[in-house]
Structure 1
Amino acid sequence: MASETIGNGAASPVLSVKGLTTSFRVGDGWKSVVRDMSFDVAPRETVAIVGESGSGKSVTSLSIMRLLQKNSSRIEGKVTLAGKDILSLSEEEMRHVRGKDISMIFQEPMTSLNPIFPIGKQIAEALTCHSDISFRDAKAEVLRLLEKVRIPNARGRFDEYPHQFSGGMRQRVMIAMALASRPKLLIADEPTTALDVTIQGQILDLIKQLQEEEGMSVLFITHDMGVVAEVADRTIVMFRGDVVETGTTDDIFNRGQHPYTRALLAAVPKLGSMKGQKWPLRFPIVDVATGATSEAKPVADTVHPGQTPILDVKNLTTRFAIRSGLFGRQSGAVHAVEDVSFQLAEGETLSLVGESGCGKSTTGRSITRLIEPTSGSVTLDGYNVLSLAKPDLRAMRRSIQMIFQDPFASLNPRMTIGSAVMEPFVEHGLGSKADAREKAADLLVKVGLSPDMMKRYPHEFSGGQRQRICIARSLILDPKVIVADEAVSALDVSIKAQVCNLLMDLQESLNLAFLFISHDMAVVERVSHRVAVMYLGEIVEIGPREALFENPRHPYTRKLMAAVPVPDPARRHIRRNLSTDEIRSPVRPVGYVPPKRSYIEVSPGHLVQVTEEEAALAA
């Protein structure tokens, strides 16, 4: 479908794209991945291109920037930036346009920054390349930019290297670099996808504020409809290389016509939508071809009060020694998990939430003994996990399995998926290869795949399909507990909804208990029976999902919820005013004794961490 030219017509557009078609060489021919795309971006306007992986949105931005390989790609159509046809420019002329008139922020800042140069020097290079400026003046401008993007102690961090910054702070460095030459247009390609929800909120606020101050236009590329609602004046929806719908963001969200647009919107979990709903609720799924929407059914009641927990964790502590000096003496320790206690019943989902570095993944790995805990006790299905010798540990792991965040890294690229799913069954000696093959085929059907796919390799599947394969592999030993470690965070919004629905279906049919590790509060609200919020290795609040989400008591829990993007265009001009401080370090000196924590029960089962003074007052 040829898209219409969109724009408000009030002023000459900063960027005008007409009939853009991008193709890649496949064998002896060309395959088009973006077809006949046209749109305008007006001064001070934010236009969002939204769609899932493979829709062509990132290829569109790379085509505009002319960053695709010349010998394997072909760009047709017309791209005009401030009246200049950039597709007709020589490579030398285009080099002067990039960074000066048009800048780009990429999804992964660590791969975009040079690890061997200080960040100050890298930002200064963006200035010295495009203007006749001394290094002294460039440094002064860099410090101004670092302060502008809210990096604390900018002067002290000028000579630090990328690895010394957190993910959110690295993304701020990339924004400072992109703004160095005051471009007319900023292209932001999934700039918040890999970030925690609070850091994402800070970056979105920052981009909106800098746009107002600098008067630039923004082309924002994302698959997150919540982000689109908060930043975009107008929205372009892409599906498999074509523009299927364009319009104002308000029209797209409230009066979207195309089934794919409705499918994207239906898959977005809305924080607060579970009010009054006792049990986890499946996501509605929209058929892209027909527009038909599946019913969002709740999970059946599988949790019974008073039953013996399948998993009981008490005072779990995991620390990692830091060694330094010539003789490698211990100089400190990372207090990754500190005095964590919780229980998990059969058929229950307990979610661990918090930002990167809070200790939630380390908790999951400590429970399974993939990491050796420092102290505490873990009882799983009758096993005293922390005292098990290796043969017993192997037997225990039949009761608990993990689903990891990156399914491609979890699968052997040289092993067919049939062999990968069968391997645990064969290794544990639970039957013959024929039995393993039969069970693997049955599990693939359960997770929505076909048994005839067993001969294929991991690279022949999409991300969502690979995650389904990992789920099938985790089920082949008939475990009672599954640790899902950020199992859906890397997936597109509609695939995320399908995988979450699959996990809830499996829980209902197999009575599985889930320890669901995530930083996505809106997804957690949808899938959980209970929620535990972690900060700096400690649980600061734990309770039934409805109690915790409807009455969050700890300041950190409220901060996490305030940062969640809300898919409502009416909130576009709202600023959250989130703190720009980095998460505090869990590194402690040798001999450090953490203070004893106290909890008060604010409602049945809803516990909140308090200081000793607050606990004394409550008593």
Structure 2
Amino acid sequence: MIKQGTEMGEAAKSVLSVKDLTTSFLVDGQWKPVVRNIAFDVMPGETVAIVGESGSGKSVTSLSLMRLLARNQSRIDGKIVLNGKDILALSDKEMRRVRGNDAAMIFQEPMTSLNPIFTIGRQISEALTCHGDTTRSEARDETIRLLEKVRIPNASSRFDEYPHQFSGGMRQRVMIAMALASKPKLLIADEPTTALDVTIQGQILDLIKMLQEEEGMAVLFITHDMGVVAEISDRTIVMYRGEAVETGPTSDIFLRGKHPYTRALLSAVPRLGSMAGQKWPLRFPVVDTATGERSEPVAVADTVVSKTPVLEVKNLTTRFAVRGGLFGVKTGAIHAVENVSFDLFQGETLSLVGESGCGKSTTGRSITRLVEPNAGKVILDGYDVTTLDPSNLRRMRRSIQMIFQDPFASLNPRMTVGAAVAEPIIEHGLASRFEARNKAADLLERVGLSADMMARFPHEFSGGQRQRICIARALALDPKVIVADESVSALDVSIKAQVINLMLDLQQSLNLAFLFISHDMAVVERVSHRVAVMYLGEIVEIGPRAAIFGNPQHPYTKMLMAAVPVPDPDRRRERRGLSTEELKSPVRPLDYVGPMHSYREIGAGHLVRLEAAA
């Protein structure tokens, strides 16, 4: 293990040496420091992780190292030595040569980093021609080699494709190829896997490990996911409110973390397999980040699960037209949801899991008729939702509500949160405005907020608080079923734990039925009664939580389990050997007739789709 160096000799060998880094922003005419006195070294071939929750200063630190902050609004003090160059003493022209040649950066969302009007080949080639004496032909050959290196299939044929023609995981591979174009000594990866599915995340982590070994690069990895930290980093820096509160070898941080915030972060991480033999659903442990005190998780009191389903989905099929040509003629269809059937009982949580594009969210939207299904039945409280006219559909939505992934996009920025929570009650004519405001105040109190927050606007709340507001709004009509579509995937680990505990408590007190849509297998294991695994619009395995996680049968289910990051530093050098193939396309020709699949019952309620022989 390489220890952090402080002596001049050791610092001289480092790729990156940071001393007393302080970054301030101009706020109301005064400089406000947001990162204070950060110091660390990164050695050749070493991976250092900076970990912390949103607002801890991780990304500001990385942007300061690359001098990518607005000069008139920010000030960087201290010393940054990158590959022997004093970064803060360089001119803008000299700094442009450093970016790409000495250090390169991968950002969280590749679609915002790639130019949508240029092909990916041109964008990578540009990085080569700008930083070296390379002809256009040589740049094309090198770009194809880089695309192959990051495991993009058919690299030569995809050279002239545009960013929107790639999946999220493949776009992130393009960003890595671009970062590697000039063979940098340091790669800064700022949350490069946060927005990706677990299987794609596993592929990207394996790829970074492999390229690091081949190229001898140093990597500065920024994340809030402790499972990712354990799998990839040699040393870890824990940041809290702009300061480094603990630094050391990753194994020491995980096994002997001393700072309360470090212990809080580790305690909040859901671990796949931790529910074996446990009663469920199980609340997450609540940790005080100031003291590190941890309340032991307790099982939620049993909900009264009815014997008659509150929601029955039978042979649900939803397809979207694909049009082409001058007149937009229908040329095919996206088979988003294909012949999906399941029941949901009062007081139960059924989780739909799978990668992006598998049809989870479309299933939830089809059930609520936010998307019109093509075929099948959705029986809610004895009524077929698919046949309801607009007025009856409006009444039906009192019984089923939806919580979306992005709470900020779900709330009207011009409407106070009190008005947003009261609006459904008023629109459905269930109470007067005065009574609706009183109920909204009660609901905000119930979800852990205070009634005096009703006059605030969405931008005045944190992400976790905004999601609580969306939960309060979903409860306004006293629904029987709530569809939670990736409702905690964008939240930090400790906030995620709080929101999930809230949902479990509300389920117990109100006897709610949850259709929980997620790709986070560790969270699903903790909250579910039953789990359904989706692939290409179809359910390939469904059963009780213990059966799915304890005895997975379908190859796709096993692959999802294998891809989950494990917060164990002993696994740091392991390779999972995950397939680098993209999820197959759900686009089918107009005359396509899918095969009728049969299922085999493994145990009580545990069904697995039988696959046709190759």
User: Which amino acid in structure 2 is aligned with residue 249 of structure 1?
Assistant: T
By how many angstroms is 1:566 displaced? 0.2
* 1:212-227 → structure 2 map (5 Å cutoff): 212-227=213-228
Return 317-326 or 471-480, whichever deviates more.
317-326
SS at match of 1:300: coil
* d(CA) in 1 for partners of 2:70, 2:101: 21
Partner residue in 2 for 1:282 = 283
By how many angstroms is 1:4 displaced? 9.6
SS at match of 1:608: strand
* d(CA) in 1 for partners of 2:281, 2:423: 32
User: Which amino acid in structure 1 is aligned with residue 483 of structure 2?
Assistant: V
Runs of 4+ in 1 over 6 A off after TM superposition: none
Give yes or no for contact 1:6–1:247 (8 Å, CA) kept in 2: no
* 1:409-448 → structure 2 map (5 Å cutoff): 409-448=409-448
Partner residue in 1 for 2:186 = 185
SS at match of 1:176: helix
* 1:106-121 → structure 2 map (5 Å cutoff): 106-121=107-122
SS at match of 2:274: coil
Give yes or no for contact 1:7–1:42 (8 Å, CA) kept in 2: no
SS at match of 2:540: strand
* d(CA) in 2 for partners of 1:5, 1:205: 31
Partner residue in 2 for 1:617 = none
1:519 aligns with 2:522: no
* 1:245-256 → structure 2 map (5 Å cutoff): 245-256=246-257
SS at match of 2:596: coil
* 1:204-243 → structure 2 map (5 Å cutoff): 204-243=205-244
Deviations 1:41-90 (A, max 9, x none): 01110000000110000000000000000000000000001221011000
By how many angstroms is 1:299 displaced? 1.6
Give yes or no for contact 2:12–2:84 (8 Å, CA) kept in 1: no
Return 41-50 or 273-282, whichever deviates more.
273-282
By how many angstroms is 1:290 displaced? 1.9
By how many angstroms is 1:327 displaced? 3.3
* d(CA) in 1 for partners of 2:84, 2:524: 47
By how many angstroms is 1:7 displaced? 11
By how many angstroms is 1:427 displaced? 0.3
Give yes or no for contact 2:416–2:456 (8 Å, CA) kept in 1: yes
* d(CA) in 2 for partners of 1:11, 1:280: 53
User: Which amino acid in structure 2 is aligned with residue 516 of structure 1?
Assistant: F
* d(CA) in 2 for partners of 1:74, 1:352: 47
* d(CA) in 2 for partners of 1:367, 1:283: 29
Distance 1:4 1:457, change over 3 A: farther
Deviations 1:532-562 (A, max 9, x none): 0000000000000000000000000000000
Deviations 1:388-423 (A, max 9, x none): 001100100000000000000000000000000000
Give yes or no for contact 1:541–1:606 (8 Å, CA) kept in 2: yes
Give yes or no for contact 2:48–2:234 (8 Å, CA) kept in 1: yes
What is the TM-score of this pair, normalised by structure 2? 0.98
Give yes or no for contact 1:598–1:612 (8 Å, CA) kept in 2: no
SS at match of 2:287: coil
1:529 aligns with 2:494: no
* 1:433-582 → structure 2 map (5 Å cutoff): 433-582=433-582
* d(CA) in 1 for partners of 2:313, 2:41: 56
Deviations 1:152-210 (A, max 9, x none): 00000011111110000000000000000000000000000000110000000000000
User: Which amino acid in structure 1 is aligned with residue 52 of structure 2?
Assistant: G
Partner residue in 2 for 1:42 = 43
1:13 aligns with 2:14: yes
User: Which amino acid in structure 2 is aligned with residue 342 of structure 1?
Assistant: F
Distance 1:612 1:182, change over 3 A: closer
* d(CA) in 2 for partners of 1:327, 1:25: 53
Partner residue in 1 for 2:132 = 131
By how many angstroms is 1:326 displaced? 3.1
User: Which amino acid in structure 1 is aligned with residue 200 of structure 2?
Assistant: I
Give yes or no for contact 2:331–2:589 (8 Å, CA) kept in 1: yes
* 1:388-427 → structure 2 map (5 Å cutoff): 388-427=388-427
Distance 1:237 1:356, change over 3 A: same
- Paired residues in the alignment total 611
What is the TM-score of this pair, normalised by structure 1? 0.97
* d(CA) in 2 for partners of 1:415, 1:228: 39
Deviations 1:511-550 (A, max 9, x none): 0000000011111001100000000000000000000000
1:330 aligns with 2:330: yes
By how many angstroms is 1:217 displaced? 0.1
Give yes or no for contact 1:401–1:479 (8 Å, CA) kept in 2: yes
The alignment's C-alpha RMSD in Å is 1.5
* d(CA) in 2 for partners of 1:358, 1:6: 53
* d(CA) in 2 for partners of 1:271, 1:11: 42
* 1:37-76 → structure 2 map (5 Å cutoff): 37-76=38-77
* d(CA) in 1 for partners of 2:52, 2:14: 23
Give yes or no for contact 1:279–1:300 (8 Å, CA) kept in 2: no
By how many angstroms is 1:382 displaced? 2.1
By how many angstroms is 1:612 displaced? 5.7
* d(CA) in 1 for partners of 2:328, 2:143: 38
* d(CA) in 1 for partners of 2:126, 2:231: 32
* d(CA) in 2 for partners of 1:554, 1:278: 25
* d(CA) in 2 for partners of 1:260, 1:289: 7
User: Which amino acid in structure 2 is aligned with residue 315 of structure 1?
Assistant: N
Return 58-67 or 256-265, whichever deviates more.
256-265
* d(CA) in 1 for partners of 2:526, 2:33: 38
Unpaired runs of 5+ residues, structure 1, are 615-619
Deviations 1:480-500 (A, max 9, x none): 000000000001111111101
SS at match of 2:229: helix
Distance 1:110 1:336, change over 3 A: same
SS at match of 1:273: coil
* 1:363-378 → structure 2 map (5 Å cutoff): 363-378=363-378
* d(CA) in 2 for partners of 1:460, 1:561: 38
* d(CA) in 2 for partners of 1:155, 1:102: 27
SS at match of 1:67: coil
Percent identity of the aligned residues?
Answer: 76
User: Which amino acid in structure 1 is aligned with residue 246 of structure 2?
Assistant: E
Give yes or no for contact 1:7–1:40 (8 Å, CA) kept in 2: no
* d(CA) in 2 for partners of 1:11, 1:26: 36
Deviations 1:350-400 (A, max 9, x none): 000000000000000000000000000011122211110011001000000
User: Which amino acid in structure 2 is aligned with residue 25 of structure 1?
Assistant: L
Give yes or no for contact 1:52–1:492 (8 Å, CA) kept in 2: yes
Partner residue in 2 for 1:26 = 27
